[in-house]
Structure 1
Amino acid sequence: MNDQPTDYSSIDSFHVGRRRKPNFTEHETRQLDLGSNNISNLYEFRNLQLNNLEQLSLASNQLKSFEELVHLKQLTHLNHLLLKDNSLISSNNKRSISRDDLISIIQQKLPQLKRVDDIDLPTKIGFGVDNEIIHLPKSAPHCVPQDMQSFLAKFIDEYYRLFDTRGRSELHACYQDSCMFSLCIAPTESSMVPTKSYKYGPLIYESRNLKKIFDDNKRTTLLRHGKTDVLDFLRIKFPLTKHDGKSFHVDVFSTANNRAIFTVNGLYREIDQGVNGPVRSFQRTFTCSQTPAGVLIVADHIMIINATDSQVLNMTRSTPPASSSTEPSSSKMMESQNVPGPSIDIQTQMIHRFSQQSGMNIEYSKLCLSENDWNYERAAQKFQDCLKMNVIPPEAFKKP
């Protein structure tokens, strides 16, 4: 029997049997088999010098979470990973996931891979940047070039006038025949700023949030193609809205090659169910192109999230902009004729009483009552519920 220590310097691959512990310090290892070793986490890989490892088998182990794969990220030459016969589950605790979802999740964790088990992975498209911190050039907030200001003011004013019209039939003239549209509803559960708990209803199923949807077919389906498909969605599925023009902020990204790319950020209220409907905060990115028929929208993406308490309060304070026409619009006439609730004098008495009993200032007391259709008991119950959940902002109790 040879008692001399074994020299692994020329070994390109080796197999690790059950409960055997290999020497992982060999930089030249190309293949490593750790199958059937009861491995439940991969944290130790962060400390191993496997700089040239190309193939790794972790089959038939006890791995539970895809999050463990991040510990293999530093293995930049790794291109083939075997994971079969592990009880892996996704971050949303779904044990049965499709092949497309599996590929997407693994590629997000390990973009260097080319093959998983017997599956050849598609080419991953992304930014060729390895730095964890990217230093972006400074830019002025809400930047609109001088020569774009007049055009954008007219475009935004006209577009949102048509968008806030019941039926939205006149929007047909704003979009190119081959245009695209997508909607993304941002999650609120991880938001650093408390938001209103308005429900989205059926609209939530139309959201193309790429952090929530991994299936390529569903992603494609939720991307609306062509004027007919886009307008059908906006007319039928998107709620009737009233935008607050005073909340708008505009940023222009590009004006090259007869195209303008810009975002509009602001607030709107859904008025399908009345004047006290949910208030949403939105960011809408337009790509417009100069055509013989004029400037048309070729791409339209909107991201929405529930508004915060302060945003709702600011929107309640603001008054609608004056119409350029001498005659009031039909929508304004309808609103003025159908305002629910008690008289102004009674509302004022209710506000002061509610402020005294709740301890909130006049503005927040008015907001709470108006959002509950001036039903005093319902508003009081809502106040108690919000107080227990500690979601009322401190400024609500600041009085002059």
Structure 2
Amino acid sequence: MKIKTLTAPVLLAFMLAACSAQSDKDAAQGAGELLASDWQEITDTAKGQEVNMYMWGGNDNINRYLDEWVAPRLKELHDIELTRVPVSDAQDFISQLLDEKSAGKTAGSMDIIWINGENFKAAKDNGLLFGDFAGQLPNFNEYIDQDAPEISHDFGEPVEGLEAPWGKAQFVLVRDENKVENPPGSMDELAEWVHENPGQFTYPALPDFTGSAFIRHVLYETTGGYEQYEQPAAEIDDLESRLEPMWDYLNDIEPYLWREGETYPESLSKLDQLYASGEVAMTMSYDPALAASEVLQGRFPESTRTFLLDAGTLANTHFLSIPFNSSDKAGAMVAINEMLSPEAQTAKLSPENWGDLSALDLEKLSPEQQQAMNEVDLGGATLPLEELESNRLPELSSDYIEIIEKGWMENVAKE
């Protein structure tokens, strides 16, 4: 039998394929060894690493907390360089990771990603995450209630150790009490107020996360509550017709919105700017203490207050995860563990830094740690934590989100 001589291009292709396969094998082996290592080995490996954290960058307070509190602490305690990489939407880095996965890129630029909801499900379904790392983190094991539904599941999707909880969020409406003396307690009352005060209210255009959350409240109140949506969307045969009251409500208020509903703020930060400048009387947030932080920074008026709907408001957990091709996985694990420390969580809770609710179980904290957290001044614009806790509504599972966002474009934005 005659053996054919390989041409240079074909030989090069074979060599590249072999190198890529070996690289994938080495990466998988390295990841497995890291997940099996003890914490001291992980912290030793992490020293000197440079960790890139990809996250939504639309809020100055959050950015400052990372840059001025978290990053210096990681450098001092662990010799880790943390670099915050801002993105406009988490979907941006999910798309990048999908491209890198398809291209076989095993050494990526992302080490930590801030994620939850439909983006977590997309990352999980497409194998874009590192692995079951959360159980390796000492602070996760010591201070987190791992059996709590909002910790074990992310918008209905089992977490399975692929991400670690960073904080808890709850939707609040924000008002200038000089303009909105008696805040509406329901969507019906809000519609009445909007009709009586044309141009003073709007919400961010979808797919903005907070704008989408506002519409989910409309869904719950106009269609009979959240219980009917606890099953997967695919199992509701009449879902399209069931959503119609929500579209009717949104179209009814649209002519009375800011700029008569002809356009919507493209993001929450744009809506906040409208509120700060006095163009509208209300804004909204998924961070209950963020309004107080904006008041402290002099961006929101002193008369700013937050309020809830009588039926409650949506609450969820946001998480930190590690991409499959992170180049510095040990550094990422140590950084995430540090961000789950009681000290970091207490600093994060303060409106002077961020105002984000803690992911920790208070009962697992020492008396001194509990006292430090309880002594944080949340500001006059922030509701008591007890009131927030007693008025939490569950989030929709992620399979509803795309349906609602597409439906808004077709039934509201295009009308």
TM-score bucket (shorter structure): under 0.3
TM-score (norm 2): 0.22
Pick 1 or 2: higher relative contact order, CA cutoff 8 A, min separation 6. 2
TM-score (norm 1): 0.23
Q: Which of 1 and 2 has greater Rg?
A: 1
The structure with more helix, counted as a fraction of residues: 2
